[in-house]
């Protein structure tokens, strides 16, 4: 080709000058935007680049790891990735901090002292496997003899990227006790969405929209899918002049940069959304044809139902002015179909979370912006097949995995597990934990600590962990796991509206020390130690070859992957997508096969909810704890700093140096009344205990709300996170000379100990933002980071939340006309 790239670009640029500058042009600067890099020391190009998929959070962005002399020297975004399109966020950029953390656990270890004492003995993998296999086989043998159940073996996974491999393992053992973390994540949002249109997630077409109405989805800092979405939000706002209206009690970065920010009272997003729907429908701005054709509830009936939700009522509930509700509703509807909502944990993490999600979804349904250009679209994903044979589901249901009080909570209620074990609901003999910091990440974290410490309740606690987390410190056997840069995985997050994709994770460097990936650990455990002969009937499900073979099988099961070059293509490129990165999105996906519900329609009326006595229509349910609030009470909410996740990044120096502490945000007027100034020690008291932390006085928070980030306050997780820089752990094999430059002296105070359990009776999700507290100046003798929990009160809070379940005495979800369930006592 005679033309050089540069010349070509010049012509392109001149042509572009005549028309408006679009985002596509911006990507064509005169330089290569990713894919290659050079050494800052020698200037030489870095030639070895291994693609991978990020896992600093769960967005699954594509990356390239540049390697020099067997060491990862730089991480960059993978330009071929349709989600993040070559960009990594701050966390992604800091991934090497995770890989080369000097306090990683690199060898199998067995507890040497009392549980939690911090004494460890290094053992071989052989010893570790044998011990674990013996423990598991003991249960299986006992179960076979009728003196126990395979369910005594529990697998508790936090950030679960096992993609069905957990089912294979546990089903092969015959245990149903697979526990997860989704109930402390966003599960009620999923439940609300699944009941409405099938999939558990939406894909707003931010690039092409004219109006973004975001409820508690801090897309500028976090959430599904922060990096891919915020790129498109900025394109939509700056290049397409879209308006962003944001609802959040705290001024996040999204709020601070929004066109309009409304500090809504926690848990009342649903009321605002319903009032807006009412305004839209009563102003005849709704899409009647769409509602009547594609939903299971007629427009006229819906209009009648919505009449009760007046903006004035919503103002009283939510503290959002009625005139703004009316105005925003009209603006939103006038932008239809190029208008979309987006939500994340804000509306969902409440007692009424599943309801709220359905209310905000309704805004898109009434305006008919579903699957329209610039509208509210379905996720674009692909699915995988697994190597055969696959074990059948266990016969016996696990009470811990499927608590009977929550029939609709299909993403489980795992934050109840500690209390349930404590009350003896199910016996646990072997507790295997992966990527899950139970006594740190859960509400009522102190109860988790208590249970983890109790050898009667958890006789054998195995950790597959990369770091000495708070939970790992309370285990009996540690199996050192790899970071995301050292193992095989497969991913398919619907983070791009333009095209679905298949991404892989592969070891970009050899695993450090004796670390093994969880997939290899399970494979070796089963085939070499647990069932080497196949006599137990477990081994046959692990006859797929190596872990790489397994992932390869899954990847190549996606139509189109084999044709593109299969596994070799994926290893080279990291990601495959049926359409190119900058493809024009397709819309109207439902028109062919309908929605993912039983009747293929959007279910404004959720039949199954009605069967359990819940209100089947989008409904606002007041939060019991908030109804009883006294004048001086405040609501405690938590949040993520933009350069951190909840519990797995405080050990990363490049992130910790940006922000490493978490003072409590308090409204300036309220603080003034209480005589609190920024930096003052304050005591936050909830129904289950108190904590002492520092105050940050700001104008950026609702006067009835205080906020504490949950990213900090580690007591373990290595020297940096716990800020014990001089206390080198005995298992640490290296030092980071950079720790000499650590200038900060504050590691923050963790709020989860004083947050009681408060569970959505439908979605089974923890109401993180329901906590009622009082805040005052610290009392004499209070020291920073002090906390105290009344275990009895914590227990009572758990028992109280059960009273609101569909079978409990205080059940209150029932709508007029909803069908009665036999098991339910009263409404």
Partner 1 sequence: MERDDQHYVGEKEGAGRKVRWGMVVDLRRCIGCHACSVACKAENDVPVGVYRAWVKYVDKGTYPNVTRHFLPRLCNHCKSPSCVRVCPTKATYKRGDGAVVVDNDKCIGCRSCMTACPYDARFLNAVTKTADKCTFCVHRIEKGLLPACVQSCLGRARIFGDLNDPGSEISLYVGRNPVKQLKPSTGNDPSVFYIGLEEYVEAMRGGVTSIAGTEGALEQKGVI
Partner 2 sequence: MNGMVSYNVPHFFGEGLVPWGMLIVVHFFLSGMAAGSFIASAAASYLDDERYKKIAAAGAYLALLSIIVDVPILILDLDRPFRFITLLYRGSVTAPLTWGVWFLIGLGLFSLLNIALQRGVEAVKGSKALILVIGSVCAVGVSAYTAVALNVATNARPLWSDGAVIPVFMVASATTGIAAVSLAVSLSGGRKGLSSLNAANAVLLLFQLALVAFMLITASTSSPLSREAAGVILSGGLSLVFWIGLVTIGLVIPVIVSWSNVLAKGAEPKAGTTALISAMVLVGVLALRYIIVYGGQIIPLT
Subset of 664-723 contacting partner 1 (CB under 8 A): 667-669, 677-680, 694, 696, 698-701, 703
253 is an interface residue for partner 1 by CB under 8 A: yes
27 is an interface residue for partner 1 by CB under 8 A: yes
Residue-wise burial string across 17-34, b where 16 or more C-beta atoms lie within 10 A, e elsewhere: eeeeeebebeeeeeeeeb
Q: Of 665 and 753, which has the nearer Cβ to partner 2? A: 665
**Residue 96 contacts which entry, partner 2, partner 1, none (Cβ below 5-8 A, type-dependent):** partner 1
Whether the Cβ atoms of residue 585 and residue 205 lie closer than 8 Å to each other = yes
Q: Of 303 and 732, which has the nearer Cβ to partner 1? A: 732
554 is an interface residue for partner 1 by CB under 8 A: no
Q: Which residues bind partner 2 (CB under 8 A)?
A: 641, 657-659, 665, 668, 696-700, 743
**Residue 13 contacts which entry, partner 2, partner 1, none (Cβ below 5-8 A, type-dependent):** partner 1
Contact range with partner 1 by CB under 8 A, out of 3-11, 189-197, 426-434, 504-512: 3-11
Burial class (CB in 10 A: 0-12, 13-18, 19+), 221: middle
**Residue 34 contacts which entry, partner 2, partner 1, none (Cβ below 5-8 A, type-dependent):** partner 1
Give the shortest CB-711-to-partner 2 separation in angstroms. Answer: 11
Binding mask 736-755 for partner 1 (x = CB under 8 A): --xx-xxxxxx---------
**Residue 146 contacts which entry, partner 1, partner 2, none (Cβ below 5-8 A, type-dependent):** none
Q: Of 323 and 677, which has the nearer Cβ to partner 1? A: 677
Q: Of 741 and 783, which has the nearer Cβ to partner 2? A: 741
90 is an interface residue for partner 1 by CB under 8 A: yes
Q: Of 748 and 764, which has the nearer Cβ to partner 2? A: 748
**Residue 594 contacts which entry, partner 1, partner 2, none (Cβ below 5-8 A, type-dependent):** none
Q: How many residues bind partner 1 (CB under 8 A)?
A: 91
- Which residue spans within 764-810 are E strands per DSSP? 772-777, 787-789
Q: Which of 82, 192, 204, 263 binds partner 1 (CB under 8 A)?
A: 263
Q: How far apart are CA 347 and CA 767, in angstroms?
A: 10
Q: Of 698 and 785, which has the nearer Cβ to partner 2? A: 698
Q: How far apart are CA 100 and CA 526, in angstroms?
A: 30
Contact partners, residue 779, CB within 8 Å, separation at least 6: 683
Give the shortest CB-287-to-partner 1 separation in angstroms. Answer: 32
Burial class (CB in 10 A: 0-12, 13-18, 19+), 383: exposed
Give the shortest CB-39-to-partner 2 separation in angstroms. Answer: 24
Secondary structure of residue 392 in the 3-state scheme: coil
Give just the sign of the alpha carbon dihedral 191, 195, 196, 197: positive
Whether the Cβ atoms of residue 359 and residue 270 lie closer than 8 Å to each other = yes
Secondary structure of residue 717 in the 3-state scheme: coil
Q: φ, ψ for residue 140 (rounded to 5)?
A: -60, -40
Q: Of 14 and 145, which has the nearer Cβ to partner 1? A: 14
Q: Of 519 and 660, which has the nearer Cβ to partner 2? A: 660
Contact partners, residue 739, CB within 8 Å, separation at least 6: 102, 653, 719, 720, 725
Ranges within 613-672 binding partner 1 (CB under 8 A): 642-643, 653-655, 657-658, 661, 663, 667-669
Give the shortest CB-661-to-partner 2 separation in angstroms. Answer: 8
Q: Of 76 and 200, which has the nearer Cβ to partner 1? A: 76
Give the shortest CB-321-to-partner 2 separation in angstroms. Answer: 22
Give the shortest CB-696-to-partner 2 separation in angstroms. Answer: 7
Q: How far apart are CA 275 and CA 580, in angstroms?
A: 41
Q: Of 564 and 668, which has the nearer Cβ to partner 2? A: 668
**Residue 77 contacts which entry, partner 2, partner 1, none (Cβ below 5-8 A, type-dependent):** partner 1
Q: Of 31 and 510, which has the nearer Cβ to partner 1? A: 31
124 is an interface residue for partner 1 by CB under 8 A: no
Whether the Cβ atoms of residue 357 and residue 192 lie closer than 8 Å to each other = yes
* Residue in 801, 820, 815, 819 with CA at minimum distance from that of residue 761: 801
2 is an interface residue for partner 1 by CB under 8 A: no
Q: Which of 111, 135, 189, 237 binds partner 1 (CB under 8 A)?
A: 237
1 is an interface residue for partner 1 by CB under 8 A: yes
Give the shortest CB-157-to-partner 2 separation in angstroms. Answer: 32
Secondary structure of residue 747 in the 3-state scheme: coil
Here the tokens at position 462 are 């195995």
Ranges within 276-315 binding partner 1 (CB under 8 A): none
725 is an interface residue for partner 1 by CB under 8 A: no
DSSP-assigned letters across all residues of 287-340: -HHHHHHHBSS-HHHHHHHHTT--HHHHHHHH---HHHHHHHHHHHHHTTTSEE
Q: How far apart are CA 436 and CA 648, in angstroms?
A: 10
Give the shortest CB-641-to-partner 2 separation in angstroms. Answer: 7
Secondary structure of residue 566 in the 3-state scheme: helix
Ranges within 64-83 binding partner 1 (CB under 8 A): 74-77
* Residue in 644, 499, 490, 492 with CA at minimum distance from that of residue 89: 644
Whether the Cβ atoms of residue 190 and residue 182 lie closer than 8 Å to each other = yes
CA-CA-CA-CA torsion for 791, 793, 799, 800, nearest 10 degrees? -160
Alpha helices in 181-252 (DSSP H): 187-197, 226-234
* Residue in 91, 39, 37 with CA at minimum distance from that of residue 65: 37
6 is an interface residue for partner 1 by CB under 8 A: yes
The neighbour count for residue 334, using CB atoms within 10 Å, is 14
Give the shortest CB-5-to-partner 1 separation in angstroms. Answer: 5
Q: Which of 234, 359, 363, 671 binds partner 1 (CB under 8 A)?
A: 234
């Amino acid at each position: 080709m005679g033309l050089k790239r540069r010349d070509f670009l010049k012509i392109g640029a001149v042509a572009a000058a005549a028309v408006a500058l679009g985002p596509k042009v911006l990507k064509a600067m005169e330089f290569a935007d990713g894919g290659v890099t050079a050494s800052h020391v020698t200037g030489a190009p870095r030639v070895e680049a291994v693609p991978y998929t990020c896992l600093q959070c769960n967005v699954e962005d594509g990356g390239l790891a540049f390697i020099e002399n067997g060491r990862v020297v730089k991480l960059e975004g993978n330009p071929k990735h349709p989600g993040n399109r070559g960009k990594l966020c701050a966390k992604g950029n800091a991934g090497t901090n995770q890989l080369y953390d000097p306090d990683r656990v690199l060898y199998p270890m067995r507890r040497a002292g009392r549980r939690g004492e911090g004494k460890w003995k290094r053992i071989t993998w052989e010893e570790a496997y044998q011990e674990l296999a013996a423990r598991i086989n003991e249960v299986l043998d006992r179960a076979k003899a009728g003196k126990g159940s395979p369910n005594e073996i529990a697998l508790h996974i936090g950030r679960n990227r096992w993609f069905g491999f957990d089912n294979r393992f546990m089903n092969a053992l015959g245990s149903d006790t697979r526990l997860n973390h989704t109930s402390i994540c966003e599960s009620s949002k999923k439940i609300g969405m699944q009941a409405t249109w099938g999939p558990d997630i939406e894909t707003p077409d931010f690039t092409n929209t004219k109006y973004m109405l975001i409820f508690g989805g801090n897309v500028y800092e976090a959430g599904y899918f922060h990096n891919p979405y915020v790129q498109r939000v900025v394109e939509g706002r700056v290049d397409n002049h879209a308006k962003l209206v944001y609802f959040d009690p705290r001024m996040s970065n999204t709020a601070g940069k929004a066109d309009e920010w409304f500090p809504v009272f926690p848990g009342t997003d649903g009321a605002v959304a319903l009032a807006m729907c009412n305004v839209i429908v009563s102003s005849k701005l709704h899409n009647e044809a769409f509602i009547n054709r594609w939903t299971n509830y007629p427009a006229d009936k819906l209009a009648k139902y919505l009449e009760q939700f007046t903006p004035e009522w919503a103002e009283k509930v939510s503290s959002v002015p009625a005139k703004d509700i009316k105005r925003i509703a009209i603006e939103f509807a006038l932008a239809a179909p190029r208008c979309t909502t987006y939500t994340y944990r804000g509306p969902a993490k409440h007692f009424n979370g599943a309801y709220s999600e359905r209310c905000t979804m309704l805004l898109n349904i009434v305006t008919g912006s579903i699957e329209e250009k610039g509208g509210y679209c379905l996720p674009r994903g692909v699915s995988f097949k697994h190597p055969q044979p696959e074990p059948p589901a266990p016969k016996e249901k696990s009470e811990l995995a499927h608590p009977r009080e929550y029939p609709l909570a299909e993403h489980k209620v795992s934050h109840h597990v500690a209390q349930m074990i404590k009350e003896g609901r199910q016996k646990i003999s072997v507790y295997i934990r992966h990527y899950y910091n139970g006594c740190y990440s859960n509400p009522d974290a102190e109860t988790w600590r208590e249970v983890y410490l109790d050898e009667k309740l958890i006789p054998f606690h195995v950790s597959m962990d990369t770091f000495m987390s708070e939970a790992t410190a309370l285990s009996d056997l540690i199996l050192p796991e790899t970071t995301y840069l050292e193992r095989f995985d497969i991913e398919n997050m619907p983070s791009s509206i333009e095209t679905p994709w298949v991404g892989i994770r592969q070891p970009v460097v050899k695993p450090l020390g004796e670390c093994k990936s969880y997939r290899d650990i399970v494979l070796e455990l089963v085939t070499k130690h647990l069932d080497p002969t196949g006599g137990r009937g477990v081994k046959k499900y692990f006859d797929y070859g190596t872990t790489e073979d397994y992932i390869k099988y899954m990847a190549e099961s996606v139509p189109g992957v084999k044709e593109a070059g299969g596994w070799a293509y994926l290893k080279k490129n990291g990601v495959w997508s049926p359409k190119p990165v900058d493809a024009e999105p397709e819309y109207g996906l439902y028109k062919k096969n309908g929605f993912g519900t039983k009747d293929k329609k959007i279910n404004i009326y959720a039949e199954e909810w009605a069967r359990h006595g819940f209100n089947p229509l989008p409904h606002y349910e007041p939060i019991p704890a908030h109804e009883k609030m006294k004048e001086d009470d405040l609501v405690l909410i938590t949040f993520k700093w933009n350069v951190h996740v909840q519990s797995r990044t405080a050990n990363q120096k490049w992130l910790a140096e940006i922000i490493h502490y978490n003072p409590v945000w308090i409204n300036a007027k309220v603080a003034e009344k209480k005589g609190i100034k920024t930096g003052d020690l304050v005591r936050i008291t909830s129904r289950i205990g108190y904590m002492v932390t520092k105050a940050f006085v700001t104008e950026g928070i609702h006067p009835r709300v205080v906020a504490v980030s949950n990213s900090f306050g580690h007591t373990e997780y290595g020297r940096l996170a716990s800020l014990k820089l001089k206390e080198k752990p005995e298992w640490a094999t290296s030092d980071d000379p950079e720790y000499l430059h650590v200038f900060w002296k504050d590691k923050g105070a963790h709020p989860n100990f004083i947050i009681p359990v408060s569970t959505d009776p439908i979605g089974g999700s923890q109401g993180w933002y329901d906590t009622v507290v009082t805040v005052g100046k610290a009392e004499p003798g209070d020291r920073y980071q002090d906390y105290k929990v009344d275990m009895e009160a914590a227990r009572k809070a758990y028992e109280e939340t059960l009273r609101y379940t569909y079978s409990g005495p205080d059940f209150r979800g029932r709508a007029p006309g909803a069908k009665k369930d036999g098991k339910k006592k009263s409404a």
